[in-house]
Structure 1
Amino acid sequence: MSCLYMLKQSTAAPKGRGSSLRILKLGLSAIRSITEVREAFSFGIDHIDVLINIAGEISPLVPATETTAKDFLAAFELDSIEPLLVFQALWLPLQKSLSPKLIMVTSSVGSIAEIEPMPGGSYGPSKTAQNWLRRALHLENKDCGLITITLHPG
């Protein structure tokens, strides 16, 4: 299961006196369209300052020669496709922020340059794709002020 955590500036905080954050959690499973994500957030969010995409499930960590197509497809859906759809669905409210930020929680297992001495199975390649997507989203949207970051949870 992947989760979306959104941090939103509270409207209850007086301007100029700091802000408070409200954390919302949405469990996603087999998201098929950005419309599904938008519908899940149809309760009046006017803007998003920081979107943190946390998605991942350690699939069987086996050598590439033993990785099944089923595991490969499942990992890519969870770790790469769903975070992209969440970003696409919530890009409009992100653009309404003065400084929109996208944080992708990924893994060092997805690094090509610093590949870990362990079998990555389908998890490593799916996180590599997520890292690539984060970079592409930054380059494509930097003129809109989007700041993107990847974080390793460990």
Structure 2
Amino acid sequence: MAYPSASSAIWNWLIDAPVPSRDIRVALAAVLGRPVAVFGAGNPAELPGGTVLCDVWIGGGDFPVRVDCYAVPVEPAESAVAAAFARRLGRDCLLPDDTLDPGRHLLARPDTTIRPVHMKITEGEDGDDYSELRMCTPTDPWCRDWARYGPSRWAPGAVITARAAA
């Protein structure tokens, strides 16, 4: 039995405070305009077409809520969806950026801005813990050589609104 698939992408997000998993699914469904179901909750063949599967769990650190989304749409862009999601929940949301730096992420804020940030990652009991958020700026010594991780559309100091991120 195969899970529905709109793309091979998986979205892995972190939220800065506890939010009930139902609220996360409702917010995601509203932003995407498609159904969102609990991952593993039933027979995937019986789900409506375009259903996004969502798994939520709690870890540690400053962004303790983990949100994994499967069978996500190709459009709109993940960063734009995350910004709208952050706005709807009123919470900060972290998502991976487009570099290979494991500590560099994008911060989607409730005001729908998106910016590159750095996080300290430590091993916790329930996976990695993300803490010590630091803005990625041209004046930060770590960020001066940011291109070492490959090209990125998110230059240090960049602040982009969700519409521009799509």
TM-score computed with the length of structure 2 as normaliser: 0.28
Structure that is richer in helix per residue: 1
Larger RCO (CA under 8 A, 6+ residues apart): 1
Structure that is richer in strand per residue: 2
TM-score computed with the length of structure 1 as normaliser: 0.30
